Structure 1
């Protein structure tokens, strides 16, 4: 009956149950006492079957009304263990929900009308139970505990502590699994929601599926959330991928892998771009940024030519004192082209004093002054040597002022234990922590958790995150041009899905992030970014146009509860308007002016239905979402209402109790390229072999010691 009206009416008494009961009684009479209805026994069964069919149809309609009324007050519990998360190689599971259509907007509008408050709001007895629960908290604790028990036996049990309005999701009785085709993920996904509303739970759900599919998974977590780290570790163990799991965590350097953000590059100029790109380029700072780029590029070119891998420590060292690198490179280059050059320089050095030293070279090493005099006479041309020479020509005081903006950044990246993680010593055989780079991770289908510990030091976290993003952009460009297996004998050059999960990505985002989402899809990078508000992105970038550029590159939008209207309008402004029906009751009385008329007045009552255009959803619906619920704009603008499963209360057998258990596992299982022999069974050796091995190790140790002395 409810489906036949112009306006769907679900918030009303379930009157269908009355006719269902009457039909049931009539059917019973037909079977038990057919004589009372003057029916023959063979006819009574047919009539009883008809009454039973009518009772079933009407009961189903009535129960639908009761389910709807219950649904908009309290949703059924939706719990799922990690092992129960569905896995598909074609679809990404997000949760359960329904496609939002015009009828849902109509129902939501109806639920907000004042005449249906009795069906939408909890009963008066519920409010009395909550008041009694508060009053008895210190007097009769047993009563408070009984009233607050979340059990079906408690008729006044409290609503789930998720806040919001349950009717937003409860207006639909038929839920289905909401999935996103994996082919759509390369268009990137943006997840927005205020604090503690379920962003991390959604991240765990998506990361779990990515790990089980055997794909590359990289998680950026600025806070360094221990629970998220434990979840990622548990899922890698459940999937049997422990050997592919890496942890880079600034807050736990003892278990952290090591990573050189400037050690791998396609072009040497990328080193300078990754470092100088983190400096401010606004206003007067642009000139200092360009000089810092040129100066770092000179240092990087010299280090590579000397056979060294650039890292932050070496660059910081030579920024502070360029003289040593100038002298070292001259010793390397000049003997190859001018065999007697260094003898002449030594002679010139002995004659250097304060009187014959140019003013701009005051305070420089005497070898630097002698080198400058020799090169001025010899007319030797080498681009790297000339670059170093131009750097030392600056007055030292003036030079320190120019690089003043570069030094704080390098200090952030080379202070304390951070230096050990970002500038690893490749020749240290006693350090079991592995050294990874992004190309290696992608090739071996690795899982990397990056914890930046932003709560302790946000400046260092931002600098390290930007460095990693810049490196990822470089790797993405290389993969786009040459494929994943460039340089390897494998012929399979197909793209590998690279799932990049960036929690609180506004804290990591810089100019490096824009090309990553703009062009990274061609290399298989699939970014899922999590943030709180649109203003966070604008505040981080400092430019509304660039913020719009970032948002415009996300094809899929999942929005949980937000507190900022502008953020909610990011979703609602992209939706069309729909017509909803409203009924208006009109009642009037018209007096009769004819004294001879038999009627004194004429009454008139109308039930008028009209349509009004309204948005498909309004910002208030997003602001009132309960925890764990979201609206999703998926697959080219299809609007879905989603709720995510709650984690089951049971213990996960793979979940560690604390970070120390993960640390213990890492210490036992970490393997580096320099320690491959520790995992192998060595054959028995003779005494001579043992002596030769010890001699070799001693020689390696001596070489390392001498190399360290040279570095100093």
Structure 2
């Protein structure tokens, strides 16, 4: 029966159907021929109702058994359009599932017992149909079409194929009564970590969460949504724009893409700061600080800080181009700032400096100043004779007093980073010209985005250039940390006429492949950013990715320890799976043991020759709530989630269905098409017929003519050899 007993057994024949059949026959007999049971028509009608009621109860119990057996092999299809995604002001919808308890572990253990194999494994007919399809693939034309019949994916097909999601359906099928699973919004400030190997649904989960963040409206205001996508997923970009348009926020939608600079917005990662020293921290923070590199990193920080202070004093906004220009040639900045300083404090100083410059020749230049411009040498001589106290000027002076060769060695580790950020058209994105009114591409910074409640998609084109993508993403994280610190201290509206202090505005940051973007500044972002409203949802494959990026196991553990919510899809690394399973308790499950025996009688003259007995013994066994092998065997689109302080939920996400109104503007359609062509998708790799983006390109006419002549010569040569 379906009702619970000491040991619940749902993998069994639906014997309740026998009772249902008997009750149906008895009810029919009572209605049609009550006289055969010695009943009058009224009592026959009452007996028929009683039989029908009892049969209905038993039929309900049979349905439980049949549905459970069906779900163990195949789950019902779960599809949802983006328009139907529930958007709540209190909770974040994740999918459908159930709270995993001891009874689910008991059911899962039962599925591995040999007596229940026929209810769990595919039927012989199913296996025969798949073997037939494999053989008919290479059969002649009429027979090859027969494989379509067995592969027809409709409920009426008794051997239809399983969905191409892999894994074990039993992990979710052990609970037929699933419900919507959601996370309270107040828990999101504790940040969420999503782990899963490639092509198991991380990006689709991101689409589901981002859709809600874009459309959510709390107290009449939308929320800030920032998405960092190193790969450049065209479907994710399309989903964000469609949802922004659906929510009436297309005017607040920004696209920053390194691989498509012509239509990308522009962004200066070091242009906005609270303290000028933040510029040096964001630049030098991307350099290695391990071992001997720590000293060079400190030198790089000092020189960048000197340059940034001088630029600010000169009224210029720092950017990567200016920093690189003055790191390579700091003499020009030294002279420009000295001219600015003396024009304000000592206008007659330049007359003396010009006189000193005229007296300088190759013989009287100090050894450490060899290779410097003569005016720089004259400035140094003047400043050594006249006491001028200016911290910026003193810093620049100390930089130019280094031997030129020695200075180049000190900043050698800084120059490759600046080259990555200032090469080609990327320089136009990361060092925008604020005075160029003819450039239609918008310029944004994080404080502006937060105040406008805007939506930002950041495509870093990591497949084309990993180093540049990591450098830009790291700079953006560092900038976000600075903005979070400012908001935490002064609020979002600091400096505006109507400054109102209140509850922080939720700032939803979705970082796909965040291990490629993070640096040391990511720890304070998730550790202390919650006070400024930062809600980080990070997506990556394994724990080893984080450790390899940071280079320190303890720091990797520090990063993981700051995520309060954990969603784990299928992973291939056991250590990653154990991050979830080690936090779960052990439970007691019931097991049955059949004991049978026979005992001979010692009385040879007695009437009994032997006695036998058979027993069913019930015992308990302590097992983990789930094993790492269960996480490894998850189907695509399914996950275990540790939410709200350690509650384990088993979740499956809805499959996306297209909507009719999903239309993008022409420039974003071109960008999405470019991303689809040039970013290989592991899901359809078998359909590739060459290099991405080259299938529809024709060769130049001269090359085609050369190939044609070569092929004709080769064919004529083959014909000569074939003659007798």
Q: TM-score, normalised to structure 1's length?
A: 0.92
C-alpha separation in 1, matches of 2:8 and 2:431: 67
Which residue does the alignment assign to 2:155?
A: 152
Counterpart check, 1:457 vs 2:465: yes
Q: CA deviation at 1:226?
A: 1.8
| SS of equivalent to 1:462 | helix
Change (3 A) 1:659 1:77: farther
Match of 1:588 among 585, 597, 616: 597
Which residue does the alignment assign to 2:607?
A: 598
Which residue does the alignment assign to 2:625?
A: 616
Does the CA contact (< 8 Å) of 1:238 and 1:654 recur in 2? no
Does the CA contact (< 8 Å) of 1:656 and 1:662 recur in 2? no
Counterpart check, 1:523 vs 2:526: no
Q: CA deviation at 1:169?
A: 0.3
Does the CA contact (< 8 Å) of 1:226 and 1:659 recur in 2? no
Please give the per-residue CA displacement for 1:247-269, whole angstroms capped at 9, x wherever unaligned: 11001101111000000000000
| SS of equivalent to 1:172 | coil
Counterpart check, 1:204 vs 2:199: no
Does the CA contact (< 8 Å) of 2:83 and 2:659 recur in 1? no
The gaps in structure 1 that reach 5 residues or longer are 666-712
C-alpha separation in 2, matches of 1:300 and 1:395: 22
C-alpha separation in 2, matches of 1:660 and 1:330: 48
Q: CA deviation at 1:657?
A: 9.5
Which residue does the alignment assign to 1:700?
A: none
C-alpha separation in 2, matches of 1:431 and 1:335: 35
Matched positions, count: 664
Which residue does the alignment assign to 1:631?
A: 640
Which residue does the alignment assign to 1:37?
A: 37
Does the CA contact (< 8 Å) of 1:502 and 1:527 recur in 2? yes
The gaps in structure 2 that reach 5 residues or longer are 217-221, 674-724
Q: CA deviation at 1:663?
A: 5.6
Q: CA deviation at 1:435?
A: 0.6
Change (3 A) 1:491 1:302: closer
Does the CA contact (< 8 Å) of 2:224 and 2:508 recur in 1? yes
C-alpha separation in 2, matches of 1:129 and 1:338: 94
Which residue does the alignment assign to 1:132?
A: 132
Q: CA deviation at 1:40?
A: 2.2
Which residue does the alignment assign to 1:324?
A: 332
C-alpha separation in 2, matches of 1:246 and 1:339: 48
C-alpha separation in 2, matches of 1:280 and 1:144: 58
Please give the per-residue CA displacement for 1:247-306, whole angstroms capped at 9, x wherever unaligned: 110011011110000000000000001111111111111111111111100000000000
Which residue does the alignment assign to 2:689?
A: none
Match of 2:240 among 232, 245, 248: 232
Which residue does the alignment assign to 1:535?
A: 544
Please give the per-residue CA displacement for 1:444-487, whole angstroms capped at 9, x wherever unaligned: 00100001011111000110011000000000000000111111
Change (3 A) 1:109 1:664: closer
| SS of equivalent to 1:2 | coil
| SS of equivalent to 1:529 | strand
Which residue does the alignment assign to 1:25?
A: 25
Instruction: Give matches, 1:493-508, under 5 Å.
Output: 493-494=501-502, 495-508=504-517
| SS of equivalent to 2:92 | strand
C-alpha separation in 2, matches of 1:38 and 1:596: 55
Match of 1:220 among 228, 231, 236: 228
Which residue does the alignment assign to 2:291?
A: 283
Match of 1:272 among 280, 290, 312: 280
Which residue does the alignment assign to 2:94?
A: 94
Counterpart check, 1:569 vs 2:554: no
Does the CA contact (< 8 Å) of 2:98 and 2:651 recur in 1? yes
C-alpha separation in 2, matches of 1:659 and 1:80: 28
Q: CA deviation at 1:664?
A: 11
Which residue does the alignment assign to 2:376?
A: 368
Q: CA deviation at 1:656?
A: 4.0
Please give the per-residue CA displacement for 1:628-679, whole angstroms capped at 9, x wherever unaligned: 000000011111000000112x4542244986536699xxxxxxxxxxxxxx
| SS of equivalent to 1:607 | strand
Does the CA contact (< 8 Å) of 1:231 and 1:655 recur in 2? no
Counterpart check, 1:334 vs 2:353: no
Counterpart check, 1:642 vs 2:673: no
Please give the per-residue CA displacement for 1:192-246, whole angstroms capped at 9, x wherever unaligned: 0000000000000000000001210000001112221122112111211111000
C-alpha separation in 1, matches of 2:352 and 2:247: 66
C-alpha separation in 1, matches of 2:482 and 2:596: 73
Which residue does the alignment assign to 2:563?
A: 554
Please give the per-residue CA displacement for 1:147-179, whole angstroms capped at 9, x wherever unaligned: 111112222110000000001100111010000
Which residue does the alignment assign to 2:323?
A: 315
| SS of equivalent to 1:3 | coil
Match of 2:193 among 187, 190, 201: 190
Does the CA contact (< 8 Å) of 1:260 and 1:421 recur in 2? yes
| SS of equivalent to 2:146 | helix
Does the CA contact (< 8 Å) of 1:30 and 1:37 recur in 2? yes
Which residue does the alignment assign to 1:684?
A: none
Counterpart check, 1:172 vs 2:175: yes
Does the CA contact (< 8 Å) of 1:96 and 1:177 recur in 2? yes
| SS of equivalent to 1:404 | coil
| SS of equivalent to 2:597 | strand
- C-alpha RMSD of matched pairs (Å): 1.4
Q: TM-score, normalised to structure 2's length?
A: 0.90
Does the CA contact (< 8 Å) of 1:230 and 1:658 recur in 2? no
Match of 2:487 among 479, 491, 509: 479
Match of 1:402 among 392, 395, 410: 410
C-alpha separation in 1, matches of 2:56 and 2:77: 27
C-alpha separation in 1, matches of 2:4 and 2:348: 104
